[in-house]
């Protein structure tokens, strides 16, 4: 950069200077030569006039004297061209001079001159000839010759001076070039460094220059632009962070799709919502990312109608997520139409809805079944069976049984609702698990024996007691053990174990029963939920047992966990906290 700028300035100076001096030297040389030659010529002519022209003999006498003063060679020539006197050479050796150009000129004009290179002296000589006349007839010629030493010297001198000046001026121009290039270079370099830093995205600040020329204006403009840009970036960043905060804090996940149908943006909430099932979905089409027919159909519908589309979509295979999806266009991109999809996870909502609907359906069904029986038998009695005492007794027994069942159902419902409303007071005591379970086993033993089921109690009497309400604890185990016996086919086995696991004492009841399908395990705590409706009602029970256990465990600060293999057996684990929180 510096080199370039410097050379540009320096060489342009140099070329201008050199050309001007060369031209000057060329013109001066000729001019000086002309002036000096004509000066010498005049001088020589006046010397010639000094020589006595009347008699050649007299002239010859003073010839050497004049020659010395005039620092020239003087030759006297007669009309025929023969030299008869010469200040330097021997006359006899000289040839006829009539053909010399200066003599010829003198013959015609009176005076003549010529410049010739003298072989004998090796220098340019100036010859001046004057014709000597007597009357009109030419009687002879006087020729003076002087070497042009002086002219040569002067010209050389002038050339030397010119060269010297040239050198000095070139030197000065070099300095000037250095100075200017430096003056230009510094601000340009500063701006270059500045823009370079900007390009790399570093904080650049502002350029400060101490110049006052155009570079200053340029720097000011750059500073202004950078400031503008920084403001714009700040505004954009602020907008972006606002948007991201909104995207992060709201429950809905947001997805942006460009005109090519490729996903461009996924909000953090959505990637959280889907991270379990889907990997990075950016850069894929929605079909690639979700492989959902419903979503694709909704998207295509939006594309064809350009109207907002709202849809409920199920994503994921084994553990489906129900999403309320709304698709809308994003405006403000003139180049291409983008699409925004907002996902709202409604799985929980749907589940609650389902539970509520199921509950209402179940509770009516559960109440209606015994009621239908009661009403039916009562009608039969009323319509005449009352007279048949034997029959009536049988019917009344059935009616009583159904009424008891109804009563049990209502009681169970009350228990759950009381626990849920936190109206049940729990009396926390240290309760020995082994004692409680021994009692409970005694209650279910008869039933187990009839089905030939062995119950193994592996809890040692020394196992640490748990903080619990004794009656409720009994209720919990009655329900769990009763279930285990109920759903285990003849000849099966029920095993009870206890262990400590972290902050919990865990009792697990394992049976070799019919098990529960994997996708239904999480519904087991629901009220009235039955895996196989027809069968479990045959086995008696209200469908509320596990629900009561679940709620009682929660009231104890613990939890219930069920693992099951369909067709192989079920294990119910009850987690009692070692240090329970006190429920008010």
Q: Does 293 bind another protein (CB under 8 A)?
A: yes
The correct pick among 57, 517, 522, 533 for binding another protein (CB under 8 A) is 517
**Residue 84: which residues within 8 A CB-CB, separation 6 or more?**
56, 60, 76, 77, 78, 91
DSSP secondary structure of 354-408:
HHHHHHHHHHHHHHHHHHHHHHHHHHHHHTTGGG-HHHHHHHHHHHHHHHHHHHH
Cβ-proximal residues to 386 (8 Å cutoff; 6+ apart), any chain: 392
522 contributes a contact to another protein by CB under 8 A: no
Q: Measured from the CB atom, is 60 or 564 closer to another protein?
A: 564
Least distance CB 352 / another protein (angstroms): 22
Footprint of another protein on 456-515 (CB under 8 A): 514
State which residue, 422 or 568, has the beta carbon closest to another protein.
568
304 contributes a contact to another protein by CB under 8 A: no
Question: Is residue 249 part of the contact set for another protein (CB under 8 A)?
Answer: no
Q: How far is the CB of 514 from another protein (least distance, A)?
A: 7
Judged by CB under 8 A, the chain residues 534 through 573 that form the site for another protein are 566-568
The whole-angstrom separation of Cα 145 and Cα 95 is 16
According to the 3-state scheme, what is the secondary structure of 400-454? Answer: HHHHHHHHHHHHHHHHHHHHHCCCCCCCCEEECHHHHHHHHHHHHHHHHHHCCCE
Q: Which stretch binds another protein (CB under 8 A): 185-193, 283-291, 415-423, 575-583?
A: 283-291
Helical H runs in 433-564?
A: 433-450, 470-486, 533-538, 545-555
516 binds another protein (CB under 8 A): no
The residue count of the chain comes to 584
Q: By CB under 8 A, is residue 57 in contact with another protein?
A: no
Query: Which position has the token pair 């000849």?
Result: 491
318 binds another protein (CB under 8 A): yes
In terms of DSSP H, where are the helices of 76-128? Answer: 101-109
CB of 562 to another protein, least distance (A): 18
Residues of span 396-455 touching another protein by CB under 8 A: none
Distances (CA, A) of 475 to 255, 412, 549: 50, 11, 8
In the complex with another protein, which residue's Cβ is closer, 110 or 567? 567
Q: Is 8 in the site for another protein (CB under 8 A)?
A: no
Is position 37 an interface residue for another protein (rule: CB under 8 A)?
no
Is position 533 an interface residue for another protein (rule: CB under 8 A)? no
Closer Cβ to another protein, 266 or 444, answer by number? 266
SS (H, E, C) 441-464: HHHHHHHHHHCCCEEEECCCCCCC
Q: Does 285 bind another protein (CB under 8 A)?
A: yes
Nearer Cβ to another protein (54/565): 565
Interacting residues with another protein (CB under 8 A): 260-261, 284-285, 287-288, 291-293, 296, 317-318, 514, 517, 566-568
């Amino acid at each position: 950069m510096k080199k370039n700028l410097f050379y540009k300035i320096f060489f342009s100076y140099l070329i201008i200077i050199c050309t001007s001096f060369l031209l000057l030297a060329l013109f001066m040389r000729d001019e000086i030569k002309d002036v000096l030659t004509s000066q010498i010529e005049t001088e020589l002519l006046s010397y010639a006039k000094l020589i006595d022209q009347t008699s050649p003999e007299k002239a010859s006498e003073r010839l050497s004297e004049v020659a010395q003063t005039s620092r020239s060679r003087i030759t006297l020539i007669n009309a025929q061209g023969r030299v008869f006197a010469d200040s330097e050479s021997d006359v006899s050796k000289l040839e006829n001079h009539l053909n010399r150009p200066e003599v010829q000129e003198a013959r015609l004009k009176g005076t003549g001159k010529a410049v010739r290179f003298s072989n004998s002296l090796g220098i340019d000589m100036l010859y001046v000839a004057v014709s000597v006349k007597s009357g009109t007839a030419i009687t002879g010629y006087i020729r003076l010759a002087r070497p042009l030493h002086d002219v040569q010297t002067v010209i050389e001198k002038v050339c030397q001076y010119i060269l010297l000046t040239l050198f000095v001026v070139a030197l000065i121009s070099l300095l000037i070039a250095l100075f200017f290039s430096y003056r230009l270079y510094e601000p340009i370099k500063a701006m270059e460094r500045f823009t370079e830093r900007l390009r790399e995205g570093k904080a650049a600040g502002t350029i400060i220059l101490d110049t006052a020329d155009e570079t200053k204006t340029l720097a000011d403009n750059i500073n202004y632009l950078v400031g503008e840009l920084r403001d714009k970036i700040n505004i954009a960043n602020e907008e972006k962070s606002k948007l991201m905060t909104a995207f992060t804090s709201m429950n809905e996940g947001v997805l942006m799709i460009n005109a090519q149908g490729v996903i461009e943006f996924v909000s953090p909430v959505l990637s959280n919502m889907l991270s379990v099932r889907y990997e990075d979905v950016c850069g894929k089409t929605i079909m690639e990312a979700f492989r959902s027919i419903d979503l694709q159909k909704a998207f295509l519908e939006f594309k064809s109608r350009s109207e907002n589309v709202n849809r409920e979509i199920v994503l994921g295979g084994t553990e489906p997520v129900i999403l309320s999806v709304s698709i809308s266009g994003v405006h403000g991109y003139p180049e291409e139409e983008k699409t925004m999809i907002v996902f709202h996870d409604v799985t929980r909502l749907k589940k609650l809805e389902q539970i509520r609907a199921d509950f209402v359906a179940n509770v009516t069904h559960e109440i209606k079944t015994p009621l239908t029986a009661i009403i039916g038998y009562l009608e039969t009695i009323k319509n005449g069976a009352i007279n048949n005492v034997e029959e009536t007794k049988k019917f009344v027994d059935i009616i009583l049984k159904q009424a008891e069942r109804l009563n049990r159902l209502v009681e169970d419902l009350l228990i759950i609702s009381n626990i849920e409303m936190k109206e049940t007071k729990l009396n926390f005591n240290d309760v020995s698990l082994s004692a409680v379970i021994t009692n409970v086993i005694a209650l279910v033993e008869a039933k187990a024996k009839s089905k030939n089921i062995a119950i193994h109690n592996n809890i040692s009497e020394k196992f640490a007691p748990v903080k619990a309400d004794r009656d409720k604890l009994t209720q919990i185990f009655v329900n769990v053990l009763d279930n285990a016996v109920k759903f285990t086919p003849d000849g099966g086995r029920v095993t009870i174990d206890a262990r400590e696991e972290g902050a919990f004492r865990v009792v697990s009841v394992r049976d070799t029963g019919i098990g529960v399908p994997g996708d239904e395990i999480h519904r087991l705590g629901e009220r009235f939920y039955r895996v196989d409706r027809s069968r479990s009602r045959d086995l008696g029970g209200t469908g509320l047992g596990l629900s009561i256990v679940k709620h009682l465990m929660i009231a104890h600060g613990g939890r219930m966990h069920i693992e099951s293999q369909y067709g192989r057996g079920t294990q119910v684990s009850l987690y009692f906290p070692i240090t329970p929180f006190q429920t008010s």
